[in-house]
Amino acid sequence: MKAFSTLLDTLVYTTSRNRKLALIAEYLRETPDPDRGWALAALTGELDFPAVKSSTIRNLMKDRVDPVLWTLSRDFVGDTAETASLLWPEPGVVDDDPPSVSQVVELLSSLNRNTAPKELPGLLDRLDPNGRFALIKLATGGMRIGVSARLAKTAFALAFDVSVEEVEEYWHALEAPYPTLFAWGADGADPPDVSNTPRFRPFMLAHPLEDTKVDLQDYAAEWKWDGIRVQLVRVGGETRLYSRSGDDISATFPELLDVLPLDAVLDGELLVRGDVQGGEQGGAASFNALQQRLGRKTVSKKMLAESPAFVRLYDALILEGNDLREQLWTDRRTALEALMSQMPASHFDLSEIVEARDFDHLAQIREGTRDDAIEGLMLKAKDSPYIAGRKVGYWYKWKRDPLLIDCVLMYAQRGSGKRSSFYSDYTFGCWDGDPDEGAELLPVGKAYSGFTDAELKKLDKLVRQTTLNRFGPVREVERTLVFEVAFDSVHSSKRHKSGLAMRFPRIHRIRWDKPVHEADRIETIRALIRD
């Protein structure tokens, strides 16, 4: 556990991606099995200990530290694990033999909600502050140390001089602590046998189009649908559904698990059914409707009936054992089109090709589309193979321009991590009527991105100087500042007083110059709803 806690402590203070890769690679090379496998699973978010939540840690701390001191410290530090690891009362005797990562995993796996509060204190007493920080991060699953799953897998590839694409292909068919993966990577053993497992393959991704123009003789255009990218895999009659990051989300969408008529690996967009509106293809509800189903471990019959999921297919990677990834996009598209006659229309359809005379005509089509289920366009080179990751010149994403609206800053809250000392999370609102006639501001969204570090310092100062009220960690501020907010779409929502929910709000500009009474009204945003 000591080596793992040292790794986490170093990663927290390391900003360089290459340095992070080197640190993780060194740890994987020098740490024996199975500790390094459990550590790798922790870094990639593959471990889950249901008995230990952040609330468990908070309750333990409030039993040992003054509750007010704990609340103020947690609010200032911005991270539960860091605060608890530093405030935990030091034991009278230091343990010279702290537990290993494997021992910690074994203990955490044996806990339930009743035994966790009794067993965790003894474990925390055996560790120093760095060890306690690592334990809490591992137990609660919230690493937040600037290491993505992709970066950790890349570090494995770097450590043992293997292909990261191969690592990803094997990874999702194996379970921690990955003994066969390490035997292959570190010891030169045969690759793990995953031939009969419906496993994830890395997605091919796109670059933003930016100022590039492409020749439509060489590129095909498709709509970029606003759902979630998924991969549907069937092998030996067993089907699994994977998200873009490789997470198995099969249990959340059970209606898709027994409808694929053949062994295949298919790439597409997961959507839910809705009324046909805008766009020629239609049939897809907004992301807001899909969001009601995401992340659920169980799905009710009512939800299955009201929001049935389907996949709009983009590409075919493997069909009945025939790997198509090295073939041209045009050939894969032909194979996918031929497949559609076998696919149940209730659960699958084909992403249509957007026809245009030339690039300028395509730009007009893009600007004229405001279907809530469409984010923009995808441009795919007709001669492109299916290659994992982003390869310049093959696929481009051309998102539609965001919607813009002027809002008034209402509330602020401290951020987390590096921003824990700054008020960096902002809630803003619009006028519910004419402000000159006493209309009130209603919150319409929250954002924590879109500004520079220099602007953040200026905003933080304004929040501190214009605070009206405090509600726990939230500060209400004087209505003095206007944000120009960018967002992708807006939907009806019963959860908010305004009745609205924005999709991907971010601060586009800070309007230091604009009077707050000139900010937009609720009716302006409501007119943009396409539910």
Going by C-beta distance under 8 Å and a sequence separation of 6 or more, which residues neighbour residue 280? 352
Lowest-confidence segment of 111-115, 144-148, 167-171, 201-205 by average pLDDT: 144-148
Q: Copy the structure tokens of residue 300.
A: 């009710």
Helix (H), strand (E), coil (C) string for 234-265: EECCEEEEEECCCCECHHHCHHHCCCCCCCEE
Residues 387, 413, single domain; the answer is no
Calculate ∠ Cα 355-361-366, nearest 5°. Answer: 80
CATH code for the domain of 463: 2.40.50.140
How far from 108 is each of 79, 105, 112, CA to CA, in Å?
21, 5, 9
Residue 375 lies in a domain: yes
Residue 516 lies in a domain: yes
Residues 254, 333, single domain; the answer is yes
At 468 the three-state DSSP class reads strand
Residue 114 lies in a domain: no
Provide the domain count of the chain: 2
| Helix H or strand E segment including 365 | helix 359-367
Which domain does 503 fall in, by range? 403-526
Instruction: Quote the crossing angle between the two packed helices 2-12 and 129-140, to the nearest 10°.
Output: 80
Residues 351, 212, single domain; the answer is yes
Q: Is the peptide bond before 177 cis (omega within 30 degrees of 0)?
A: yes
Q: Is the pLDDT of residue 357 over 60?
A: yes
Residue at a domain's end among 399, 423, 452: 399
Residues 393, 425, single domain; the answer is no
Closest by CA to 400, choosing from 354, 364, 356, is 364
Residue 72 lies in a domain: no
Amino acid 278: pLDDT: 40
Residues 465, 318, single domain; the answer is no
**Contact between 485 and 425 (Cβ < 8 Å):** no
Calculate ∠ Cα 112-115-121, nearest 5°. Answer: 120
Residue 324 lies in a domain: yes
Between 421 and 201, residue with greater pLDDT: 201
| Helix H or strand E segment including 229 | strand 228-235
- Alpha carbons 162 and 426: distance in angstroms, whole number: 44
Residue at a domain's end among 341, 365, 399: 399
Amino acid 276: pLDDT: 40
Residue 281 lies in a domain: yes
**Contact between 456 and 464 (Cβ < 8 Å):** no
| pLDDT, averaged across the chain | 90
Residues 305, 440, single domain; the answer is no
Residue at a domain's end among 369, 399, 429: 399
Amino acid 400: pLDDT: 81
Q: Copy the structure tokens of residue 399.
A: 């998102």
Residue 175 lies in a domain: no
Q: Copy the structure tokens of residue 228.
A: 């979630």
Question: What is the average per-residue pLDDT within 123-145?
Answer: 90
Residue 447 lies in a domain: yes
Residues 362, 415, single domain; the answer is no
CATH code for the domain of 232: 3.30.470.30
Q: What torsion do the CA atoms of 354, 359, 363, 368 make, to the nearest 10 degrees?
A: -40
**Contact between 27 and 7 (Cβ < 8 Å):** yes
Residues 212, 302, single domain; the answer is yes
Closest by CA to 337, choosing from 357, 358, 319, is 319
Residues 377, 506, single domain; the answer is no
Q: Is the pLDDT of residue 260 over 80?
A: yes
- Alpha carbons 520 and 523: distance in angstroms, whole number: 8
Question: What is the average per-residue pLDDT within 490-499?
Answer: 83
Residues 215, 316, single domain; the answer is yes
User: pLDDT, tens digit, for every residue of 272-311?
Assistant: 986 544 434 457 887 777 888 887 878 888 888 888 999 9
Residues 353, 408, single domain; the answer is no
